[in-house]
Amino acid sequence: MEIKQIAQRHKGSFTAFDGDKEAGFITYTMAGSDKMILDHTEVNDEWRGQNIGKKIVFYIVDFARKNNMKILPLCPFAKAVFDRTKEIQDVL
């Protein structure tokens, strides 16, 4: 599983690929240069139940830490992951 950032100006996604197939993604919108708003999470049926969404959230957290960014999880799925996982709440 490989996760890639696909950015277009102030919007984009972090997308998980299984080979050449898209497994799932989280879309985001930038608020300034240091805040990322997570808008929506989607995992394709074939990969449901495999923690793909959670893996993408953790990848985004690592990205935010490396780039001194904060995250605002408006997406209900991403917010639930943050609520349940104290060790990633430093980027909120």
pLDDT, tens digit (0-9, with 9 covering 90-100), for 36-62: 999 999 999 999 999 999 999 999 999
Tell me how long the chain is. 92
Per-residue confidence band for 75, with pLDDT thresholds at 50, 70 and 90: very high
Question: Residue 55 is part of which domain span?
Answer: 2-91
Find the CATH number of the domain harbouring 56: 3.40.630.30
- Mean pLDDT computed over every residue of the chain: 97
pLDDT value for 79: 98
- For the chain, the domain total comes to 1
Written as one letter, the residue type at 85 is: T
Q: Is the pTM of this model over 0.85?
A: yes
Residues forming a β-bridge with 41: 26
What number is the average pLDDT over the span 63-69? 97
Q: What is the DSSP letter of 88?
A: G
